[in-house]
Structure formats: C-alpha cells, structure tokens
Amino acid sequence: MNELPETTDVLIVGAGPTGLALAAVLCDAGVDCCVVDAVAEGGNYSRAVGTLPRTLEMLQQLKVAERMVEASNHAQRIRIFSGDRDRNIATLHLRRLDTEFPFAVLQPQHATEEILLTRLGELGGVVHRPLRVTALRQSNHEVVVTVADAGGDERTVRAKYVVGADGTRSDVRKMIGVEFAGETFRQRFLLGDLELRDGSPADEIQLFFSRAGGVIMGHMPGKLHRVCISVDEVPAKLTAGTAEALLRERAPARKHIEVRQVVTDSHTRVHHRVAARFRLGRVFLAGDAAHVNSPIIGQGMNLGIQDGITLGNELVRTLRTGADTLDAYERIRRPIALDAVGITQRINDAGTQRSSLRSAVRDLVLPLSVIPRVNRAMITRLSRLVDR
C-alpha cells in the first residue's frame, strides 16, 4: 500500500474526473503530486451523459481521447423535441464542427473516471482513500493540510499548492472562505441508467422540452440509456413504471417509450453557481468545487476536466520556471464557467418552461437553428469549441 507523503508539490483533494485529469498532467510532466479522496472507492452511479469535442481535444494531451472514442457510442447530433407539440423543433449537428472529434462520446462517467485512473496509474500516480480534509492553513511558501482517515486518525501533508476538486460541497472551498454565488432551485433531476424500448439512437442525444418538465437522454454502449428527468418532487423509489410515466409525460406522443428495467438511479438538486474566486493564494478550486449547473446539457464534467488540464499545465510551467503564471488559470477558466452556467440556465429554463405562451415562443424560435450559420454557432458554443 502506498503511504501518504508528508510533503508534495501539489496536493489534489478529490479523485473525480477533474482531480484525475489534473493529476495525470502533473505526473506526465514529472511533478510530484498527491491525490486524496474522501470515499473508499470511485462511484458508479448515474451522472454525466457525455464528453464533448473540446474536452476530447484537450484529453489528447494525456493520450486517452482515443481510448474514450473506442469504448463509447458517438452522438453526431443533438435532437430537441417539443413534447407539448409532438414534434422535433431543432437538430444541432456536431458533424459540422471543425475538429478531429465531430461528435460527443457517450459513456458512463464512471467509465471515463476508470480510463483517467488507469492512465494516472501508468504515469505512476495513485489515489489515497478514504481521507477527508479536516484543516487547512496557508502561508507565503506552503499550505499545511490535515487529513483524517475513516477511523479518525489524522495526518499532515505540506504542499506548495493545494487544489480543491472535491465537488459541490467542497470542504476546501469552505475552509478558504470563497463565496459560491448563485441559486439553488426547488427543481431536481432524476438520474438513471435505464433499459428502454424506443429510446434514443446510439448516434444522437435527445432532449424533450415540455411544460411537464425536461429530459436529456443518451444511449450508452450496450443496452442502457442514461436519462436525466426534471421533477418537482423525487419519488420514493424510481421504479420502471414511475420512470416510464415521467418519460411519456414529457416525450412526444409518437414515441412509445417502454422502460424495461431501472439499473441505477440517483437524484440531484439543480444549482447554478460559480465561485467568486478560483484562486486564493496557494489554493485553487476546480470542477464542481468552482462551478455547478443543471445536468440538462452535460457541461459539468466537461468543464471540470478542462479545468484540471488547464490548471495542470499552469502548475507545471510555474514549478519548472519559478515564475508564477497561475493567475492565468482563473483568468481563462472563470469566464468560461460563467458563460457555461448562463447558457445552461437558459436551456434548463427553456426545457422546463411552464408558461404556455413562453413555451410556444420557444417552439417557434428554436426551429431557426435549421439555418446553417445559426446551427454552427449554437453547437460550437455548446461543445465549448468556442473556448479554444
């Protein structure tokens, strides 16, 4: 078993996609780093639907983009339906994008994490579990972090830099006192891996917009669909019958969705928040610790991986040269997070619009995306290729 080091250049708190991508960048460059995570093992419950083209481009640096492409289905379009009017109101074509990856990778988030964890292991990195941060203090030259194991035994790690990639409820963010501004909505999303009849094809992502609520659906490799369903109240148990009723209420009537099995399910409250700062001295925030939004268009994991790679490159540059370029991380990534949260909130509002008038306007405006220039602009922004 690998012992937790007493000192390191970079301590990464959180071993989700953000922390793993960051650690892989550092290990690949020969930077001494340590990853700790509060849970005993990685999760396999439903979260992200897909990996976007810009994320795949950035993952080429870690030599894992091709692995993800080989292991997944490829969505070449996003098709949006109005459940209220029983028709397709917009289709956004990823194949029109100027990229080596003109599609979204569809595979479970835990499969993405497994690929990143495998790559980290190839580069000599490990994750220390289960360890929770209980205290943090920083000076001009180091950060001293106290971590506790499951039995409550505490140890101290001294690091030149610390990165909080520990999720929406980030202990690191709270300890450094950074405000997490935004809104928490009453609305929740049910997240499930379902076996369906008449689900989405393997080469597209489908969204259902209706006054009953919104749905995003992607076909994973094999039989399962990953489905996110907006609800006001979470059912006591997501049975096949309950899931089917919710989907049929939101889907176009001509889709005869049948839920054959619920394999996994969870739920999340809808937040739209961005941290006031991504850097405070020698401590950084990344991924869901820095920004969080509705899962309706699958931005969260992608933004987090991009954060990790961007911050990793800046840390490597600073540690190698001695010149602190780390302010570039916040300068680059925070505006991107604000834009992504803003557009996700607008899409979430459009997809769950209760007003008959506003939903009618939505269903009249979205078909304008058939115009090639409009289509390309919309999908370039959603795929984050606009951030190059």
Each residue's pLDDT tens digit, 19-56: 999 999 999 999 999 999 999 887 655 567 789 999 99
Please give the pLDDT value at position 292.
Answer: 94
Give the pLDDT confidence of 340-350 residue by residue, as tens digits.
999 888 888 87
The pLDDT of residue 73 is above 60: yes
Average pLDDT over residues 75-97: 92
One-letter amino acid identity for 362? R
* pLDDT at 237 > cutoff 90: no
Q: Which CATH number fits domain 7-66+107-182+272-346: 3.90.1200.10, 3.20.20.140, 2.120.10.80, 3.50.50.60?
A: 3.50.50.60
User: At residue 308, does pLDDT exceed 80?
Assistant: yes
pLDDT for 108: 87
CATH number of 73-106+185-270+354-387: 3.30.9.10
| HSE (side-chain half, CA atoms, 13 Å) at 213 | 21
Q: What is the pLDDT of residue 47?
A: 66
Residue with tokens 């941060």: 133
Q: Kindly state the average pLDDT of the residues 67-79.
A: 95
User: 162 and 278 in contact (C-beta within 8 Å)?
Assistant: no
Q: What pLDDT sits at residue 66?
A: 96
Quick one: tokens of 101? 């990856």
- Over range 127-147, report the average pLDDT: 97
Predicted confidence band of residue 145 (pLDDT cuts 50, 70, 90): very high
Domains 7-66+107-182+272-346 and 73-106+185-270+354-387 share a fold: no
pLDDT > 60? residue 1 = no
**What Å distances lie between residue 286 and 122, 204, 306, CA to CA?**
23, 29, 9
Tell me what pLDDT residue 335 has: 97
378-382: average pLDDT: 92
Q: Is the pLDDT of residue 232 over 80?
A: yes
Question: What's the CA gap between 12 and 33, in Å, rounded?
Answer: 7
**Using alpha carbons only, how large is the chain's radius of gyration in Å?**
21
**pLDDT tier at 368, thresholds 50, 70, 90:** confident
Q: How far apart are CA 29 and CA 93, in angstroms?
A: 36
Q: What is the pLDDT of residues 259-276, one digit of tens each?
A: 999 999 999 888 899 999
132-136, 327-331, 370-374: least confident range: 370-374
Q: What is the pLDDT at residue 69?
A: 96
Question: Picking from 64-68, 82-86, 255-259, 280-284, which range would have the lowest pLDDT averaged per residue?
Answer: 82-86
Supply φ then ψ for residue 276, to 5 degrees.
-65, -30
The average pLDDT across 140-146 equals 97
Q: How confident is the model at residue 127 (pLDDT cuts 50, 70, 90)?
A: very high
Query: In DSSP terms, which residues pair with 158 in a beta bridge?
Result: 7, 144
Would you kindly state where each structural domain of the chain is located, as residue ranges? 7-66+107-182+272-346, 73-106+185-270+354-387
Q: Please state, in angstroms and rounded to a whole number, the distance separating the CA atoms of residues 360 and 381.
A: 24
pTM: 0.95
Q: What is the pLDDT of residue 44?
A: 54
Q: For residue range 188-200, what is the model confidence (pLDDT) as tens digits?
A: 889 999 999 989 9
Given the DSSP bridges, would you call strands 104-106 and 180-197 parallel, antiparallel or unpaired? unpaired
Task: State pLDDT tens for residues 319-356.
Answer: 999 999 999 999 999 999 999 999 888 888 877 777 78
pLDDT of residue 334: 98
**Contacts with 28 (C-beta within 8 Å, 6 or more apart), sequence order:** 61, 62, 123
Alpha helices in the chain (DSSP H): 17-28, 53-59, 65-70, 109-122, 171-176, 240-250, 300-321, 327-351, 356-365, 372-382
The owner of tokens 């980290």 is: 120
